[in-house]
Amino acid sequence: MASLLLSLSSIVFIIFSLQFMFIPPTFSTSRRLINNHVINDHETGFRVSLKHVDSGKNLTKFERLQRGVMRGNLRLQRLINNMMMTTTSTDHSSSQVISPVHAGNGEFLMNLAIGTPPSTYSAIMDTGSDLIWTQCKPCTKCFDAPTPIFDPKKSSTFTKALCTDNLCLELPNSDCGTDGCEYLYSYGDYSSTQGVLATETFTFNNVSIKEVGFGCGEDNEGDGFNQGGGLVGLRRGPLSLVSQLKTSVFSYCLTSINDDTSENSESSLILGSLLPQLSNKTKVFTTPLIKNPSNPSFYYISLVGITVGNVDLPIKNSTFAIGLDGSGGMIIDSGTTITILEESAFRMVKKEFVAQTKLNVDNSGSTGLDLCFELPADDGSGQISIEIPKLVFHFDGASLDLDGENYMIGDAKSGLVCLAMGGSNAGISIFGNVQQQNMMVVHDLEKETLSFIPTQCDKL
């Protein structure tokens, strides 16, 4: 059993909002211009800070929780749609083009600048999609955003992509129009961005990168995009920022919100090799990154078992395997809040937590989470200490023994503590960002590995 100490003054739900802001990088103190897009070591790597999309909105714990769960459900549906429609196809009987769908939205924002002179805007970081895009003038349809709409006419480095350019040819749905390469990029729930593909100088704090391909969206529709002015895709596909930088390594480190300072703490995205101070870390959990041939851009990891307390759950070997049709498997995703397990596996997890947790189950359904317990009464000390079962995720080559704050969240006002996990009968599983907090999550695309390094993320 593990102890979870909950302070009555600071219990918060782990549905948090990080909004990308820039912090001085530890790599260099001078402005750099990168022409060849290669980010492959600590001399050329850079860091960007992150904040959650609901940060600073004065929401209650339940409001943050409900918003996070709703976004997670929407994202899951988008991922399911992606599994069902993975390639561009044409219905010859109706001449209707069917475009692939992508995850879309996310939980974290970053600030960056586009153009010369640079124009700053905020963007949603999305490890579930590829395209980099922002809203552009003239807009036929644009949503309200926290930063101004980009005006290409005010930049001396804006160039429209040709229809024969490689990035144009990589678009899932494009057309050669009077403006050059025109695109439509959809997110599976009537959300989409449509406009022209272009190249521009992108600036990340003091690092400027020439000729980054991005979508200049003039018709942008859908829910959830108004947290930022666009998206930055970090998947494996050729359109993503990771691919365009030709970096073999990128990482993120998400801070915990289980303390009073969480609202102002900064998470980090690192493009390039790890920060030097992480080189002496001895506790590293590494598992292979695997590819789903039907969905090669997503980051899949191989979950082979789960332990609750001292009980190894009798989960079938096929439960988390990728099927021959591309279904199933587990995706690691920074844009999904809580971990979603295949339904039969989640039922086993839930059953063991109920059996091993010496608290009354709450059946009100008020939190939007599947399993909650009633907290005991305060003994007058201002803190509540409860015993919860240990939770271990067994990945291929690495067993991740999670801290209590990575899977149990509590709210003193409501008198509840909840398991930050859920189930889905869609087959696919997602390892969410609550389970990843206070760990450096390292994607090494050359070695095809993913590593978890326990790290105090707000101290980087």
Residues annotated as catalytic are 126, 333
For the record, the structure tokens of 363 come out as: 């059946």
How does DSSP assign 106-160, residue by residue? -SEEEEEEETTTTEEEEEEEETT----EEEBSSPSB----SSPPB-GGG-TT-EE
Token pair 């709409």: residue:
149
- The answer to whether the CB of 152 falls within 8 A of the CB of 196 is no
Before 117, cis peptide (omega within 30)? yes
DSSP state of 217: E
For the record, the structure tokens of 205 come out as: 């704090």
Q: How many CB atoms sit inside 10 A of residue 359's CB?
A: 17
Q: What is the largest CA-CA distance in the chain?
A: 72
Give bridge partners of residue 418 from the DSSP assignment.
372, 409
Cα-to-chain-centroid distance, residue 280: 27
- The answer to whether the CB of 187 falls within 8 A of the CB of 102 is yes
Before 276, cis peptide (omega within 30)? no
Beta strands 207-221 and 133-135: pairing type?
parallel
Nearest Cα to Cα of residue 146 among 256, 17, 287: 17
Task: Give, in order, the Cα–Cα distances in Å from 458 to each of 107, 269, 410, 414.
Answer: 18, 12, 21, 28
Q: How many residues does the chain have?
A: 460
- The answer to whether the CB of 160 falls within 8 A of the CB of 197 is yes
Residues 339, 139: Cα–Cα separation, whole Å: 37
